[in-house]
Structure 1
Amino acid sequence: MAIEVLSRADFAWVIALGNANQVETGPLDEGRLTNLVEASYLSQVARPDLGFLITFIPTSAYDSPNFVWFVERMDKFVYVDRIVVAAHARGQGIARRFYEGLFASAQADGYEQVVCEVNSDPPNPVSDQFHAALGFTPVGQATLSNGKSVTYLSRSLKD
């Protein structure tokens, strides 16, 4: 498995994988993915077609209500918008490798925390446990306009 920069050549399988998991991450099409990648801090894939990661920083041109929640409350963070691993590849440490690489890059670039949200309604207990094991802690909650409830999480990068 190799983790590399997400490129246009990856779009077809990334869109398919994203849409197979849209309950957790939201719908994805070529235009949306183009905008996400162009505005992102770090967009990566695990090859061959195993998973992807898309992140943003406070100055990114992105208007997701979850991202905005963090922008209004924090500085010097990297926001994980989407991290998706193919069902057949789960449990192999791919998401952990994405996060470990992100922690290293973000810390090297002077960011102080990595943040994300996890669905609380509908619940996502696997993601809750995974993020807790990586050192994420809850920092807030919200109910979105679509009725979904989320818990906001943060992991400090300070030593």
Structure 2
Amino acid sequence: MSIVVRDVREHELDSVLALNNAAGPSILPLDSARLRQFFNSADYFRVAERDGTLAGFLVGFGSRRGHDSSNFGWFAERHPDFMYIDRVVVASRRRGGGVGRTIYADVQGYAELRYPVLACEVFVEHDSDTARIFHGSFGFREVGQHVMPGTGIRASMLTKGMCSYAWVRDTYGDALPDEPWLTQPRPADEARLATGTR
């Protein structure tokens, strides 16, 4: 009954798309082209497996790479350097079983070595108490609200300071130790490097 978090594989994108679009009104729907764009450009795109089955995923973008989401833009106007969680989805049958906590611990471990702030949002219009409590238990706090253009959806904008970032930055700068768990690129990064695309 272990939970394993790992990089998404290209052949899993259809399953990730189905999981996203079955998540309900608290997650914006995606099409395959948009998901492919995430696969090619996200800093962090990982899935959680429980008992060998896809149980959830998280997509994140660092401020240095950029992202065309209005919520990302809201944070970019206020923070010079941050990691943004675009979406996290846990399969309905797996909610409450630790999948969300496990994948959040993983993205935090990724972010704290690279960015001083971890950012995300929770939609206000939907029943968001559970999501707010979940994020609050991880140390996220509301720093404002934003109405998403074209949707009218109001989002509670949340941030969390990465307490280890300053030490890592002061100690290592841009040169993290050559350890696979720190430096290994995602498959999409490897494909971009091989083709010379960004």
TM-score normalised by structure 2 residue count: 0.76
Q: Secondary structure at the match of 1:23?
A: coil
Partner of 1:103: 108
Percent identical pairs in the alignment equals 32
Output the CA distance in 2 between the equivalents of 1:57 and 1:22. Answer: 26
1:148 aligns with 2:150: no
More strand by share: 1
How far residue 104 of structure 1 moved from its aligned partner, in angstroms, is 1.4
| TM-aligned CA deviation for residue 22 of structure 1 | 4.9
Displacement of 1:13: 1.2
CA–CA separation in structure 2 for the residues paired with 1:153 and 1:77: 12
SS at match of 2:97: coil
1:19: which partner in 2?
Answer: 21
Report the equivalent of 1:39: 41
Any conservation in 2 of the 1:114–1:156 contact (CA below 8 Å)?
yes
Rounded to whole Å, the distance in 2 between the matches of 1:93 and 1:156 is 23
Aligned pair 1:114/2:88, yes or no? no
Cα deviation for residue 106 of structure 1 reads: 1.2
Could you list the per-position Cα deviations for residues 108-138 of structure 1 after superposition, in whole angstroms to 9, with x for gaps in the alignment? 22x1111000001134111111001110000
TM-superposition CA deviations, 1:86-112 (whole Å, max 9, x none): 011111111111111111111122x11
Would the aligned equivalents of 2:5 and 2:106 in 1 still touch at CA under 8 Å? Answer: no
Aligned residue for 2:190?
Answer: none
Equivalent residue number for residue 90 of structure 2: 85
Report matched runs for 1:1-20 at 5 Å: 1-20=3-22
- The equivalent residue for 2:135 is 131
Whether the 8 Å CA contact 1:122–1:149 is kept in 2: the answer is: no
Shift of 1:30: 1.6
Any idea what SS the aligned residue of 1:68 has? helix
Give the Å deviation of 1:56: 0.3
Amino acid at match of 1:62: H
TM-score of the superposition, structure 1-length normalised? 0.94
Higher Rg: 2
Q: How many residues align?
A: 158
Consecutive unaligned residues in structure 2, runs of 5 or more = 165-198
Report the alpha carbon displacement of residue 7 of structure 1 after superposing the two structures with TM: 1.5
Task: Identify the residue that residue 62 of structure 1 maps to in structure 2.
Answer: 67
Runs of 4+ in 1 over 4 A off after TM superposition: none
